[in-house]
Amino acid sequence: MKELFLLGAVFLAVGFFHIGTASAAKCPRVMVLATGGTIAGREIPAAGRTGYKAGVLSVQDLIADVPELREIADVTGEQLCNIDSKDMTDEIWLRLAARVNEIFAADAADAVVIPHGTDTMEETAYFLSLTVKSDKPVVLTGAMRPATAADADGFENLLDAVRVSASGDAVGKGVLVVMNGEIHEARDVTKIHTQNLAAFASPTTGCLGTVKNGIPAFSRAPLRRPKSEALFDLGDVSALPRVDILYGHEGDDGALAFAAEKAGAKGLVYAGMGNGSIPAEAEKALAQVAGRGVIVVRASRSSGGEVTSSVPSSDEAGFIESGALNPQKARVLLRLCLTKTTDAAEIARTFAACR
Ligand code: ASP
């Protein structure tokens, strides 16, 4: 009898220990830092199936619409701006990076989730991946259909983004984009479709993982994300230098390279054919502006693959290859490089470390 009593006491103690650890387990603190986009959009009934206004609902509306968030994390919200992401600006980018760094430096959250318009999401994600100095997760998400649509996709995307950010597995994986049940790395992800829910892909590397039935699962780590010492410190930066993208096409005579230089471009990204090839006349024009100090990066208008050094005339002119960066991401990196230096060799080294 005495033994049974003792056994019961041991069971009770073990039971309390387990309950105790479960209830004491730290609930991840996730800050939802909203910027607008279709995820915060409202349909315009008279405007047909695809008509809506982006950036209408507030961060409080977004959080209130997804009560399941509370089961995953201790979620708080903050409105950074409320725009259609086609109107993203340097000022907002700088404010966003500063705010995320501030949140982590103050230990005000374990992760940040950023609802964002899908149109420039990849650029913002890459910008943050080069400027946020923390191993804590930063996850961008959005929607292809406005929040008021009967088949809105934003609720599940927001839920998935919070699930990924709170999972623990996202720590140290850099800035991520979670859309349509897939987890992508900022460097590789791009918007590939104007309307499909499956609007994002990482064409060269594939996604990092998935969220299935609410469970995030990484299948690989982003091994080529920039080392913390390579990140850009935006402390006293109040403006980003002008860099234009020129789109390669049959018969390009290079006139736009001179126009961009005249408009004040400090750098140019040429979205060339295939492996960053540039038509001869355009290459001559670019070589001339490069000779006057404008930094020229060769990227590709092809949606997958890397741009490597393969064109002797471009190499002689000092053009830098974008590697795996698509034109819009090469532009982000070049602008950040130009906040530090105009030295082509130094910028080429930074590209080599990031691409
Ligand atoms: N125009 C929207 C935006 O980028 C598109 C979207 O969010 O899907 O803000």
Element of type H or E holding 321:
strand 320-321
- Order of strands, edge to edge, in the sheet holding 182-185? 74-83, 29-36, 111-115, 138-141, 175-179, 182-185, 209-212, 215-218
Ligand 1 center to 37 CA (angstroms)? 5
Here the tokens at position 327 are: 């034109």
Mean pLDDT to the nearest integer, 274-288: 97
Q: 136-187, pLDDT tens digit by residue?
A: 999 999 999 999 999 999 999 999 999 999 999 999 999 999 999 999 999 9
Beta carbons of 62 and 115 less than 8 angstroms apart: yes
Closest-CA residue, ligand 1 atom 3, reads: 117
How many Å lie between the centroid of ligand 1 and the Cα of residue 152?
13
Task: Give me the residue label for tokens 């006491």.
Answer: 9
Can you name the residues that pair with 139 across neighbouring β-strands? 113, 176
Model confidence over 69-89: pLDDT tens digits? 999 999 999 999 999 999 999
For the ranges 50-54, 141-145, 257-261, 295-299, the lowest mean pLDDT is seen at: 50-54
Q: So what's the pLDDT on residue 11? A: 39
- The active-site residue out of 38, 118, 190, 350 is 38
pLDDT at 230: 62
98 pLDDT above the threshold of 90: yes
Write down the pTM of the prediction.
0.91
210 is catalytic: no
- Neighbouring-strand partners of residue 185: 176
pLDDT in tens, 183-215: 999 999 999 999 999 999 999 999 999 999 999
Nearest CA to ligand 1 atom 1: 84
Q: What separation in angstroms does the CA of 164 have from each of 41, 139, 159? A: 23, 8, 9
- Decide the pairing of beta strands 111-115 and 138-141: parallel
The encoded tokens of residue 279 equal 């038509």
Q: Is residue 109 within 8 Å of residue 31, measured between CB atoms?
A: yes
The CA distance from 244 to 255, in Å, is 13
Instruction: Identify the bridge partners of residue 269 per DSSP, sorted by sequence position.
Output: 245, 297
Mean pLDDT of the 320-346 span: 97
Which residues form the pocket of ligand 1, taking CB atoms under 6 Å from any ligand atom?
37-38, 54, 84-86, 117-119, 142, 144
Give residue 289's pLDDT. Answer: 98
Cross-strand partners of 182: 179, 210
Please give the structure tokens belonging to residue 102. Answer: 């501030």
CA of 83 to the centre of ligand 1 (A): 9
pLDDT of residue 164: 98
Q: Is the dihedral of CA 98, 101, 103, 106 positive or negative?
A: negative
